A and B are shown apart, each in its own frame.
Chain A
Amino acid sequence: MISPVSPSGNNYKIIQVLISVFVFIFVGCASLKPIDMRAIKSGFNRPKNSLLSLEREVFSGKNGSKKVVNSDADPILLLELGVAYSYQGKFRESNEILEEVYRYYQAEEDRAKVSLSKIFLEVAESSLTEGLGDYQLDDYEKVFLHSIKIINFLMLGDPTGARVEVERAYILQKNIFKKSDSELIELKQKYENRLHSLFDRVESKSQISESKFIEMFSADRLINRASLSPSEKGLIQTVRSSYENAFTEILSSLTFQLNGESGNALPPLKRAVEITDNPFVRKVKEITEKDTNSFAKSDNFYLFVFKEFAPEKQSRSLTFSNPFTGAINHVSIARLVPQKPKEINIKLSSTDNSSIVSPSSLTNINALALKQYEEELPYLAAKAMMRLAVQVVKDYHLRKELGEGGAILASIFNIAFQRADIRAWTLLPGNILFLSKRYDTEKAKLSITVEGRKIPKETVIPIEADKITVAFARVFDNDVKLYYHKFPRK
């Protein structure tokens, strides 16, 4: 609400300076030392450690030989480093880092119903700018945190550890609730009340009608700038609100098998075939349906391929000249932008080249991310418009106290300090492929071409016919990282 009493000119200037400093500190904290994720993405194939900048932010020092995680490190940096370690084959370190993020989000969920810090943050973000607090994980990101840990445990040869992560992923999926429509209605109502109150304050200065005023500040203007394209809307059709994904389901089924729990392996496979067209998943499900013990008996080789990168976020702004205050208004929200897909061909052959097979798409992370984004967009837009309303009040008083100079100051202030929160887990893969196969030969050979160029690295996987080999490949532009582990049949 607008203060009913206007402070004197001098007091008001002091308050403005204080607010400016406050905002500067907050915004500054949120954007300190930006890390060049593009350099990290292109640096995985170089011998030099491309993760030094991330590690510097995440670790505060060493306790003996063990690196100590900085308690102030933003969870998004831990997520990025966690998955990057996994790509480098540092599976134990990856698990340790990702476990920190798990503890973080657990603690967030356990916060008091009326949390002072949460209230402060909520007020600050709906009054000043986005991204003032720690990164809040999207639901699909929480699911993937555990999926990456499952892969890590399997590559460490620890199916028991993987099983724990399977349980965590299921608990999480069970507890994911879509934000209720009533919450959105409440937020919109709050904003509309604020708009009407605003109009009451400024109407004497203007000839514009209330309906025109409301239209000018409509959240739909921002939503239109950031909404999904028709093709993106088509992409999210297969995603469920619980963010079930076929990758996690297949990993779960495999983990149950490797733990000797063949009875638990079928339900995740059934869920997987409902959400993916991958023919290998269908084949494995059909085999398991006939005999739950035959899942890992018919096929002895399982390959997961990570390719491309997850979507990034870019700022989308609404900037216009406000006829009531004479200042320029500016609000921003983050728009999720999928990365350009690459033409990547992967072929797996036996050493005698007698059979050649390619993995098929299993999970499209772009789709999961876009689905979450679409669900969150009305809230983001409503909050952005709340910030706009706060701006107008401030601008109105600045203009009143300082005249034209106040309007110029307000415009600079609005453009400089309105930022979108563009943090996202960008090192996740954009797409995951999968295949399963029986090999009786001793070796399987992986050959990969990216945009027509063959990755020269030799990638041969030794197979033991009576063991189950689980392999994980991360494809980059000029390189592939391949890891595998062989498990005894149970």
Chain B
Amino acid sequence: MNLGKVVQIMIVIVLAFSIFSGCAAKSKYVEPAEVRDNPALSFNPNDLQMLAERMAQSLIDTDIFKGKEKPIIRITELKNKTSEHIDTKAITDKVRTALVKSRKVRFVADKKEGYAREDQLNEFKDQNDPDGLGAFMDENAKLKIGKMKGPKFHLFGEIVSISNSNSDGKDVYYKMTLSLLNLEEGLLDWSEEKELRKIKEKRLFGF
């Protein structure tokens, strides 16, 4: 075999690999709710949206909030027990937003959201400070002391993952669990879990 032929064969092999593995990469806008056909194995925005919405809907569909008065809930940031640095605050916020939009419940700020409580207390102080802001305010428009509400429920949960891999690919399983604790009675009034499983097979050819 002469050198020219070897070079020709090499070129054909490289081209074949290029076609098999696909080189072009392009980006575009998509709807946040759009689910990709070929999802990344890591926890991604689609997963966040999917799990949070399903979970919130499940809670809305229960008969816990059927009374006339909208119960007050405190929600705590989910515990991340996965192998990925997931923004659990974003998932918690998503669940809270969906529940607020349902108009069936109300929320107080979580203990972890200390800045919100601090801000609230500072506002109270400022508006009722006769030597400061309070001196310039309409008496009827000031925040009234003694009207704050406490939560009746505590919503909390965690997200776990189990990951397996071998020479053929990877398999990742995510499970999100949420529970609703009745703070007065000390009973769990509701609990739900939602799962996601992703499998990625290794390509046969590629660069």
Contacts and interface: CB of A to CB of B under 8 A. Distances in A.
Interface in B67-90: 79-85, 88
A377 to B, nearest CB: 23
Interface in B132-173: 161, 163, 165, 167, 170
A374 B29 CA distance: 52
B207 A161 contact: no
Contact of B202 (A113, A164, A168): A113
Contacts of A175: 165
A259 B160 CA distance: 14
A161 B81 CA distance: 10
Nearest to A160: B80
Bin chain B's interface residue count: 20 to 34
A27 to B, nearest CB: 22
B80 A116 contact: no
Contacts of B82: 164, 167
Contact of B167 (A113, A115, A116, A168): A113
A3 to B, nearest CB: 8
A117 interface: yes
Nearest to A167: B83
Contacts of B21: 112, 116
B92 to A, nearest CB: 13
A109 interface: yes
A113 B204 contact: yes
Interface in A284-341: none
Contacts of A186: none
A110 B206 CA distance: 11
Contacts of B84: 164
Interface in B169-207: 170, 200, 202-207
The winner among B13, B14, B17 for most chain A CB atoms within 10 A is B17
A434 B112 CA distance: 32
Nearest to A261: B81
B86 to A, nearest CB: 8
B3 interface: yes
Contacts of B202: 110-113
A116 B23 CA distance: 13
A117 B207 contact: yes
Interface of A: 7, 11, 15, 109-117, 160-161, 163-164, 167-168, 171, 175, 259
Given A110-B170, A115-B207, A164-B82, 4 more contacts: A113-B203, A113-B204, A115-B206, A164-B85
Interface of B: 3, 13-14, 17, 21, 79-85, 88, 161, 163, 165, 167, 170, 200, 202-207
Closest 4 A-B residue pairs measured CB to CB? A112-B206, A167-B83, A112-B203, A168-B83
6 contacts: A110-B200, A112-B202, A113-B167, A113-B205, A114-B204, A163-B80
